[in-house]
Structure 1
């Protein structure tokens, strides 16, 4: 549900009734994972997707029915060998979908509205919903935020930027905010659900968990779907060159909060990079030392100049970020490695450097080069090989490693 939070938040603010169908679990080669959602408003407008097209029509009808009768239902869709034209996933997978009406008269609507507002602002939040259990608990919802003491890790330092930041301060749960809503007025169940949901939120994960009705952390009769919305991951592009212009656009399309950093104010301008979230005029290594990064952060070094590259990579390759890549010819790469060894980097650190950056697509233009860089970033994040799927036996869909659902996931999955 949080993957379409922006549009759903607008619907909620306009007072529209709507029903939302959310993928709870998947099996086999189902095209979309837990948290993917399709929503239908009272006028019949639909947004989102739960299956990439296989069962959208049937899920749409379930949403319309939920709006009429106000009932939450859990439905299973799978491929039918007996009838190839039955409503099911033609790819051979299986999905379970929770369909929940969010009508003006629903007691849970304020909780949904608060969750959608938080996710659409780019704040960290998790929604826990009962997908299996006693009938009176089905569809009950909790909104969970980080502890207020968690601060604002992940926020970027925009000092020196020539343009405003697009995203709100991440992880802003608000002082004293713990959770909103209840899973049926059972304090022990609520307490355990909040703790488990906050743990999933801290990891940026969406998934299910089982609890007993008394809140015990053991398999029981209550199954919760916890959807996490986390702030967008960062992409920092060093070097305000023409290739960077294209990479910024691709980074935004993939859901990153994109910063361009260059020490040369004549090149690092809003006119040249209208799509960047931030533009920073500073020496790259100095900016990287003072800005906030995490294990989802992607660093792309396009400066192609040793006086910038070497001090920057000396810092970058010692940081626990997701990806460090640098542009240049093979000769440039060899010279760069030699210089980095001279400043004290070892083989383990150098092995993290992806250089020359990008997959071998035969790219020549800035746009093609940006595509090759983005392809390598996605492959590194998801454990892909970069090889053609034609003729291969590798899985088409993999379990993502640490990618959260929500504002960022929405843009990435679009």
Structure 2
């Protein structure tokens, strides 16, 4: 069943000459352009929003509430986003979500630039942005198999993530400069413009409309589709083990870097330098994508899972050695490890899950991976106030290592090829 479904997808896409790679396919090129453009602007937003809230209230706890509201909304809506992405044409869905995201970011930018921002409004807009992201994330993640043949999934994912990382490097570096020179409001305005351009690029993809679950079928109820997607997810032990690992890991890593990172920057090496630290991680991601293009181990998923222990290094470095040189190295190494895992993970899901259920499986993956992020983002501020920033960061690093050891010790993860 799975192989037949993938074969039907590949039959609609001409098989390229071996040397040309995924860029030969026009639909993949439009996908690459659209997602790179949106990430270019979106890389500015976390930096701009963090310092906008700190400028407004000066409270780490308030910053945690704003970013936590977005993450919570994303988790709550993700499962329905997966159903929509498996029911509707994914390219059209992404045009709509890009336009909605542009409107929301423009609203936040306007409030910040005019000095009329208030915490209740920022919380609402942040939550709405998270809901929009919950619809777009599973749709965009599941689009790669619709643009290239199955045999090119690994290289396509590597090229795509290389583009995303390049956009993040430029966006984070430019965002830090914008925030430091002319303020966070203009950084948010850049993000809104990026989403507008991404909507135009997604509209150029024009995916075939014969994908299962979109045309010419009597659809099941939403509950039945959720149940079918859950069976695909829970029936593969390696899938849910890795997701549980990232439930814990993401709460610790994102809470430490998103909330406490800007605080450490303000207290030591400065806001502009924090943008360079974020860019160093993205440079590591880009290096990891290049490595994945050339290195194709048989047990790529198991290796990637084990390498996630390296992501504890930047968190620990923030706690014990918050100097720019050491942070640049630590975040770059963490980025390499994260990207080697991410490409192996995408390839594994796209190669083993039927395309008609892929967005739902991605949504369950994202729900599990993101579920504890709001808790981590909300708790690290009060914990840091109570015990100090350094002990909190070291505790987060220890949690990352423990979660990785447990997942990497599972045989099912190493059996996936």
| Short-chain TM bin | under 0.3
Q: Which structure has the larger Rg?
A: 1
What is the TM-score normalised by the length of structure 2?
0.26
What is the TM-score normalised by the length of structure 1?
0.26
Q: Normalized per residue, which structure has more strand?
A: 1
